[in-house]
Amino acid sequence: MKKNYKIFLAILLTVLIAFSVAWGCEREKITTTTTETTTNKVKKDDSSKKSNKENKNDSKKDSKEKSENKKDDNNKTEDSDKENKQNISNVEKNKEDSSQKENVKNNDDSKDSSNNASDVATKKEESPEVVESKPEEDTFTMIIGKDIKGYTGKSPQQVKELTLKVEDGKNAMTYLRENTVMQENGGFIFEIDGIHNFYPIPENQKTPEQKKNGVLGIDWFIYLNNKMTPVGANDVYVKKGDVLLFDFHEWDIREFSPPED
């Protein structure tokens, strides 16, 4: 009896061990299957997400390309419209220019025809005359100025410039009297067109600049062809092409020096 009991226990223990081993294997198999299933699911989800992301990117890219294509089409359409408008404008302008040219041509033709008819009538009515060309008159230039020949730093100013005919026997004083409002005394000119000389200048009326430069007076001086004349206006005679200058400026002791040749 005791021996049978031990055999029973051994068999039961063997069955339990076999069951445990079998259960462990089955559990491990289930776990492995679950793990693989989970892994596959994760991979599938990742693949799905990646696919969706790629699809979205492709969709955005397609949308962007469509937008750009649409924009290009619009630009092309606008350019085409502008070009058509420009062509139409050019055609209308050419028509207007052609019409204006034709009108001008017709007017010119009409004027030419009228002038020709008038010339023919004039030639018939009038006898031909010989027109003699007049010789060119001999002239010179007379200038009225201030500080043109001055040497004390004043700004030059041209008051008047005249082109006059050269006349035999007429001196500079006569030309000046005929073409300006002037005053003189014994050939000494002291006023032209309201510009009056000032000599001598009292010391208490001189400006600091005049005192510094040693200015003695302000008078009218005569220059012929850029050179001061050694005589008065009554003894100055001009010829064709001369430049006669009456210049009003300050002067100092240098005016008492002999004129340079």
Distance between start and end Cα atoms, the chain: 175
Q: What is the pLDDT along the chain (261 residues), one digit of tens a residue?
A: 656 777 777 788 888 887 777 776 666 665 666 566 655 655 555 555 565 555 555 555 666 666 666 666 666 656 666 666 666 666 566 666 666 666 655 655 655 555 555 554 454 444 444 445 555 679 999 999 999 999 888 899 999 999 999 999 999 999 999 999 999 998 999 999 999 999 999 999 999 999 999 999 999 999 999 999 999 999 999 999 999 999 999 999 988 776 665
Alpha-carbon span 47 to 68, nearest angstrom = 31
- φ, ψ of residue 224 in degrees (nearest 5): -115, 120
Candidates 134, 202, 140, 200; CA nearest to 170 is: 140
Alpha-carbon span 80 to 35, nearest angstrom = 66
Alpha-carbon span 108 to 118, nearest angstrom = 15
Alpha-carbon span 164 to 67, nearest angstrom = 83
Between CA 43 and CA 53, with CA 49 as vertex, the angle to 5 degrees is 145
Q: What is the pLDDT of residues 177-195, one digit of tens each?
A: 999 999 999 899 999 999 9
Contact 247, 149 (CB under 8 A): yes
CA dihedral 78, 82, 87, 92 (to 10 degrees): 130
pLDDT at 128 (0 to 100)? 44
Whether the model pTM is above 0.75: no
Q: What is the pLDDT of residues 74-93, one digit of tens each?
A: 666 566 666 666 666 665 66
Count CA within 13 A, CB hemisphere, residue 172: 27
